[in-house]
Amino acid sequence: MEGKILEFHPDTIDAVRKEVNLDTNERMEEAVDILEEWVKKQTHFVKRDFPRMYLESTLITAKGLVERAKQRIDKLCTFKTLMPDFYPSNVTRETFASIDNVVTHAHIPKLTKQHYRVYLMKLISEINVAAVLGYYRYLVVASEYLKMNDYTAGFVIMLDFRDANILSFVTKIGPVELGQIVTLMTDGYGMRIKRIDIISDSKMVDSLVFLFKQVLSAKLSQRIQVHKNLEVIHEVVGKDLLPEEYGGKEMPLRKLNEKWLDILCSKENVEFYKEINQARTDESCRQADKFNENYIGTPGSFRALSVD
């Protein structure tokens, strides 16, 4: 497996598969086959064919459990129908222009020793409504790319608020929309978040943690840690894989940000995104009781579907 920006350890695929009990090619192929056949039979799916790598990624996030992987695909297709605003109709540089001068961020190319992918976001100026939506759309497009190109045992989320006005940030973030994007990332894309590290020495950081805890599960809330400097971060993820301004050997975060934009807006990825964005649901073909059973209790406020 080759990524245009993502790097892996020589044993990453074997180690990640072993962790989810799919440690032989035969076991993985069998699980993907089952998932592939199941997708073809789902009459409420608008799209009934997925790349095998997409299905394999789903199995990894589902810890190798086929039934959980089925639920995850169903949820992701449903969320695309319920939350269309998070999915841009097209992907160009202009799609993310609203966040250009608000955040600098990137998934770090190198993995940690534990095969975790680090996502680093630095808030650099005041946010606004357009920037928030643009950021959520970026996360969605990047997540689709990662489904086809990444192989990890989980994610470490690093949020750098050292130069940010935290009070302003907290008052401008809508908890409902934040809850929806968190649900989409965790329940839809299956992001296995191992840590959430906030870097800030602000006295208002507790209000930021409180905001996040409103929308995160109890388990994830316990994984939030606040640091006043980078020393602990260096110990946790390994200093060298970080951007140079964070004491590491990787290219600066701004350059990584630009490289990611080039990849996400490339012709190849745009074509893939358009195709996979069709993977939604036709709720008129789903039994109402099944929808109620699976989604009414989902975190976040979703508009009721009007089905003729």
Distance of CA 175 to CAs 105, 135, 216, Å?
21, 15, 11
Residue holding tokens 């060298």? Answer: 240
pLDDT greater than 80 at residue 289: no
Residue 7: predicted pLDDT:
96
Q: How many C-beta atoms lie closer than 10 Å to residue 217's C-beta? A: 15
pTM of the predicted model as reported, rounded to 2 decimal places: 0.92
pLDDT digits (tens, 9 = 90+) for 132-187: 999 999 999 999 999 999 999 999 999 999 999 999 999 999 999 999 999 999 99
Residue 49: predicted pLDDT:
96
The answer to whether the CB of 278 falls within 8 A of the CB of 46 is yes
The answer to whether the CB of 105 falls within 8 A of the CB of 121 is yes
Residue holding tokens 């934040």? Answer: 178
Please report which confidence band the pLDDT of residue 290 belongs to, taking 50, 70 and 90 as the band edges: low
Q: Which residues does 209 contact at the CB level (< 8 Å), separation at least 6?
A: 198, 224, 226
Instruction: Quote the radius of gyration of the chain (alpha carbons, Å).
Output: 19
Largest CA distance in the chain: 58
In this structure, what token pair is assigned to residue 272? 């893939």
pLDDT digits (tens, 9 = 90+) for 229-281: 999 999 999 999 999 999 999 999 999 999 999 999 999 999 999 999 999 99
What angle do the packed helices 129-149 and 267-276 form, to 10 degrees? 90
Q: Distance of alpha carbon 148 from its chain centroid, rounded?
A: 13
Task: Measure the CA dihedral 136/141/144/146, to 10°.
Answer: -90
- Helices within the chain (DSSP H only): 12-19, 25-40, 52-61, 66-82, 129-149, 166-172, 175-183, 205-215, 218-221, 231-233, 253-264, 267-276, 288-295
Domains located in the chain, CATH noted? 1-303 (3.40.525.10)
pLDDT greater than 80 at residue 299: no
Distance of CA 302 to CAs 78, 84, 155, 180, 295, Å?
11, 11, 27, 8, 9
Residue 295: predicted pLDDT:
54
Residue among 257, 121, 143, 251 at smallest CA distance from 198: 121
pLDDT digits (tens, 9 = 90+) for 19-73: 999 999 999 999 999 999 999 999 999 999 999 999 999 999 999 999 999 999 9
Q: Which residues does 184 contact at the CB level (< 8 Å), separation at least 6?
A: 79, 83, 86, 140
Tell me how far apart the alpha carbons of residues 2 and 258 are, in angstroms, rounded to a whole number: 20
> Which one-letter DSSP state was computed for residue 153?
S
Distance of CA 209 to CAs 75, 177, 200, 235, Å?
27, 17, 11, 22
Residue holding tokens 């608000």? Answer: 102
Tell me how far apart the alpha carbons of residues 301 and 185 are, in angstroms, rounded to a whole number: 15
Residue 50: predicted pLDDT:
98
Residue 128 host element (H or E): none
The answer to whether the CB of 178 falls within 8 A of the CB of 213 is no
Residue holding tokens 């005041």? Answer: 126
Residue 294: predicted pLDDT:
57
Q: What is the mean pLDDT of residues 208-228?
A: 97
Residue 291: predicted pLDDT:
55
pLDDT greater than 50 at residue 300: no
Residue 287: predicted pLDDT:
72
Please report which confidence band the pLDDT of residue 4 belongs to, taking 50, 70 and 90 as the band edges: confident
Please report which confidence band the pLDDT of residue 292 belongs to, taking 50, 70 and 90 as the band edges: very low
